[in-house]
Structure 1
Amino acid sequence: MKPYLYLLIAVLFETFGSTCLQASNQFTRLWPTLGVIFGFGVAFWFFTLVLKSLPLGITYALWSGIGIVLITASGWLIFQQKLDAPALFGIGLIIAGIAVINLFSSAGHP
């Protein structure tokens, strides 16, 4: 269970870093730029902890899928980026893929 907690922490910090990346205005704003460095640094450190227990392919699929969903939510909530029906449908498919991996695959279990 600990690897999944570490993966969630990694994805949350990656989401923070990506949100700061948008806010940094191409690294021209100091605090968001520092947020990018901090967010991605912590995210990758926790990601390495996950890789001690879980295979890279499954871990990266979960990291990417959960990250896409959270970053999309961040863009919508913080930056008022629009989501249309195809985008929401695609995000639903990503969530379904995450569920399939966690519920039916033995490859992602330590």
Structure 2
Amino acid sequence: MSAYLLLAVSIVSEVFATSMLKVANGFKNLLPTLAVIVGYGVSFYLLSISLKTIPIGIAYAIWAGVATALTALVGMIVYKEKFNRKKLTGFIFILSGVILLNVNGGH
């Protein structure tokens, strides 16, 4: 399987786990807490496998940047958090940074 596909699944798993943190309510709700543990476990495992092929700086920049942006989107869509210019600017900076690292710092 492609390292970048593994990285993408790792990102989705991390976003899922982070989203479940809110529902876990300080680890007081069992099923969401288990979802957090499994989600992060899968995420870190797949991230570690992708690092066999993708340089760590590139992989982590993609993982952290894309996961941060997607988690913010989940917050806005699922948890009805507000969207404003500052968040839009943050998305632009995050995605620009990930793109720049991939263009200039590739294999």
User: Which TM-score applies when normalising by structure 1?
Assistant: 0.90
Equivalent residue, structure 1, for 2:5: 5
Equivalent residue, structure 2, for 1:24: 24
| 3-state secondary structure, aligned to 1:6 | helix
1:45-60 equivalences in 2 (<5 Å): 45-60=45-60
Query: 1:65: Cα distance to partner?
Result: 0.4
Q: Give, in whole Å, the separation in 2 of the partners of 1:17 and 1:64.
A: 14
Equivalent residue, structure 2, for 1:98: 98
Q: Give, in whole Å, the separation in 2 of the partners of 1:83 and 1:33.
A: 27
Equivalent residue, structure 1, for 2:35: 35
Q: Give, in whole Å, the separation in 2 of the partners of 1:38 and 1:77.
A: 23
Query: 1:100: Cα distance to partner?
Result: 2.0
| 3-state secondary structure, aligned to 1:74 | helix
The letter of the residue matching 1:108 is G
The yes-or-no answer on 1:108 pairing with 2:68 is no
1:63-102 equivalences in 2 (<5 Å): 63-102=63-102
8 A Cα contact 1:59 1:108, kept in partner = no
Query: 1:60: Cα distance to partner?
Result: 0.8
| 3-state secondary structure, aligned to 1:87 | helix
| 3-state secondary structure, aligned to 1:72 | helix
Q: Give, in whole Å, the separation in 2 of the partners of 1:12 and 1:79.
A: 17
User: How many residue pairs were aligned?
Assistant: 107
